[in-house]
Chain A
Amino acid sequence: MNEYIEFKNISKSFGKIEVLHNVSFSVKQGEVHALLGENGAGKSTLLNIFHGVYQDYSGEIFYNHQPIKFKSVFDANHHGIAKVHQEINLVNDLTVGENIALGQEDVKGIFVDRKKIDKKSNDILDELGCSFRSRTKVSSLTAGEKQMVLIAKALYSNANTISFDEPTAALSNNEIDHFFKTVEKLKAKGVTILYVSHRLNEIFKICDRVTVFLDGSYVNTFDAKTITKEKLIHSMVGRNVEMFAQRKMPKLYTNEVALKVENLNKPGIFSGIDFEVRRGEIFGLYGLVGSKRTDVVRAIFGAEEHVSGNIYIGGEKVNINSPYDAIKHGIGLVPEERKSQGFVKVFNNAENITLTDIGRYINKFLINDKKKNSSAVEYIKKLNVQPLDSKKMTATLSGGNQQKIVIAKWLHCNSEILILDEPTKGIDVGAKEEIYNLLEELVSQGKTVIIVSSELPEIIGLCDTVMVMSEGKQIKIVRDKFINEKEILKYALGGEFDE
């Protein structure tokens, strides 16, 4: 077997933040090669570079000993390299055959040769063991069947290499079995497969080799048939001490329970969520892609529908059916998507900061703008927002400063329990540090902080208690000195077959 795909010194940055550092490894022809790592380890970025989504990277890629650099996913397709996306994207209103042939239709004169397309598509569908036909409408298919359509599309274009990004995340158990069989068939045909997943059992089941990434760097490549789960997890950890967030004032929590969540369920999304957060505690919620952590905190904040379970604040049962209720009970949420959820783009800093509690500045129906602005300036100064300008449009600030405005909004309305979903996503190191310090200051004042994060250094460095989730289930609650990379990753990766 030869070196079929070779990555040589690949580096890639988004703005100031480097997401891949000098990655080199190779993939053999006809193997199923897994890419493993935490969220943000760089797996998806590497695939996007390979498929021509990003062209501004450094380093070289060789495909069958030829240097390659594709201009687009479409361009890569022409060279026999296909991608089955994380989100399934098919045209729902077209038939299976039309989707399979889309962009590469066989023609007879000026007309699309439907007969030929149907015949070729049906042959491929038979080969993949699918029961639906070329003339079936895509809108009537399940998630697993749609994925088969994408694979059929790849085979229709004679792909030699197919990459999968979290292919089983949306599938039922039966569909997963069928998918594994399909992967075996592809392998038998000599197709090379790149396989991004964090489900260890899948990797052991269908992959030949596995390459581990950590914080955008290549760690090692292992033979999946011989390595143990223990060793694999061990290779995924091992950051230096200085990479972790540091607490200046550890253990500020009291015995008083600030928030208690009892048997929280949302059918089909998450179930059996049960935990307590103490006053003055920094509580972490960790989980990889598909763990549904964001759904859990949104449910607590009243932003999700069809949720059952009980929530107690300061020992009292409360009814939270909307963010309005949650805010009334002293909960604040800094949402995951800053730009689309965190602030109003057409508002300036003062307007965004005061939005949730504008009532404070109202005198006889009218807002006192002077008071509003001077109060906003206080928070802007306190959080060191640059520039120090309450009338600056929030949308024009840098990511870190925007995040400070979103946090200021909850300080302004005096939230007792502050939930932050990915508080430092896409933020530079300096602003990160400032946000960490601020969170410590909040708990030192007797407030309670819940952090949802994909970054282990953040979770491990800051949190007094960590709840690990996987696939919509609460796997384990880890406390104080038991909190370390290996322990948390073990539950996040292997939860489903450990229990």
Chain B
Amino acid sequence: MSKVNQMMKNVLKKFTWNNIKQAMASREGLLIISIFIIVGVFTIIDSVYIMPRNIVNILEQSVVNGFLAVGITFAIVLAGIDLSIGSIYALSIVFVSKFLVGGMNPFLAIGLGILVGAIFGGFNGVLISKLKLQPFIATLGTMSIYRGIAYIVTNGNPVLGIPTEYRQILNSNTFGSIVPVSIFLLIAFVIFTQIVLKKTRPGTYIYSVGGNEESAFLSGIKIDRIKILGYAISGIGGAIAGMILLAQLGTGEPIAGSGAELNAIAATAIGGTSLAGGKGSPIAAFLGAILLSALKVGLIVAMVPTFWQYVATGAIIIVAASVEIIQKRLKSSTT
């Protein structure tokens, strides 16, 4: 018993003001604290908010946006943007629907879906690196082209008759059948991409190209390849998001994901990824997506009128952006 006491004391000792300041000086730490504050506030307003079912709901709602936000993080770290990610999301939905309805093995269809994301995303990278187009313009163009292809493939109609077998792979529940498996898929994707960015050669190169392209070029890095890779990963994020939505809905809607790119950018911005490039992480984007859906669900629970929800979402983006400046001060006061 005294051992437990000792441990508790040690844990409490760590909660000094300085440690909290240090946690707040890292973006991820600050995001986690902010999420706890949001959860706390809405729980006080209505204790329904803290019920496991609601927490699962928050997580589930952040899955699709989480995949998109993690994907787009790669484009933004490269000092670019991927406006076409919502259209790639739709493309993966319609292609995978067609594959499945055509009787393809679900696992093979999922593999091909990822390939669809990599190809269309990689094509963005080709436009940006080989043709030297500005990322905003290039992906604005492909956003429309890819959306068009999604409509052409389906003739504008939803694809019906998605096999249950497929839906169970991506949309079944675990843990007493309340926690959707898609949450774990997202967490796995976040960990995988975080390791790629922080721990591998291509990841290091992505940060260097985004941070200073000229310097990266003069360091012998093949800029074009790195950009194509980054945009391909962005496309893969979009494709997986699409496949999960398809499993959730059971119909392949070519219209899905219009405006989804803006939600993804919002989550990434809240995560602190700078549009100037060279900064940001998948974990931060993931936390940004959770924060956004915690807020949205909270506003519904608190019965705030819909129109005000838009105002709140916008305000949180602006607050998140201004936090950077406060953080810099905290950093200089702890070191």
Chain A positions near chain B (C-beta within 8 angstroms): 301, 303, 322-324, 326-328, 333, 335, 340-347, 351, 355-356, 358-359, 362, 365-367, 369, 409
Contacts and interface: CB of A to CB of B under 8 A. Distances in A.
B201 A344 contact: no
Nearest to A326: B220
Contact of B201 (A327, A342, A359): A359
B201 A355 contact: no
Contacts of B204: 351, 355, 358, 367
8 contacts: A322-B220, A324-B221, A328-B220, A341-B214, A342-B215, A342-B218, A356-B219, A365-B200
A327 B220 contact: yes
Nearest to A301: B218
The 6 A-B residue pairs with the shortest CB-CB distance in the complex, in nearest-first order: A346-B278, A346-B211, A327-B220, A344-B211, A324-B220, A344-B212
Contact of B218 (A333, A345, A351, A362): A333
Contacts of B219: 323, 327, 355-356, 409
Interface of B: 195, 199-201, 204, 207-208, 210-212, 214-222, 278-279
Nearest to A356: B219
A358 B214 CA distance: 18
For the complex, would chain B's binding face be called helix, strand, loop or mixed by DSSP majority?
helix
A362 B207 contact: no
A323 B217 contact: yes
Nearest to B196: A365
Given A341-B215, A342-B215, A367 B220 contact: no
Contacts of A359: 201
Contacts, number: 72
Given A365-B200, A366-B195, A367-B200, A347 B220 contact: no
Contacts of A327: 219-220
A367 B203 CA distance: 10
A369 B218 CA distance: 23
A333 B223 CA distance: 17
Given A340-B215, A344-B215, A369-B199, 8 more contacts: A323-B218, A333-B218, A335-B218, A340-B212, A355-B208, A355-B221, A356-B219, A366-B199
A344 B216 contact: yes
A323 B213 CA distance: 13
Contact of A367 (B201, B214, B278): B201
A197 to B, nearest CB: 30
A392 to B, nearest CB: 11
A366 B211 CA distance: 21
A358 B206 CA distance: 13
A324 B225 CA distance: 13
Contacts of A345: 211-212, 278
Contact of A343 (B195, B212, B221, B222): B212
B220 A323 contact: yes
A448 to B, nearest CB: 19
A338 to B, nearest CB: 10
A351 B198 CA distance: 11
Contacts of A366: 195, 199-200
Contacts of A301: 218
A335 B220 CA distance: 13
A82 B163 CA distance: 77
Contacts of B221: 324, 355
A47 to B, nearest CB: 29
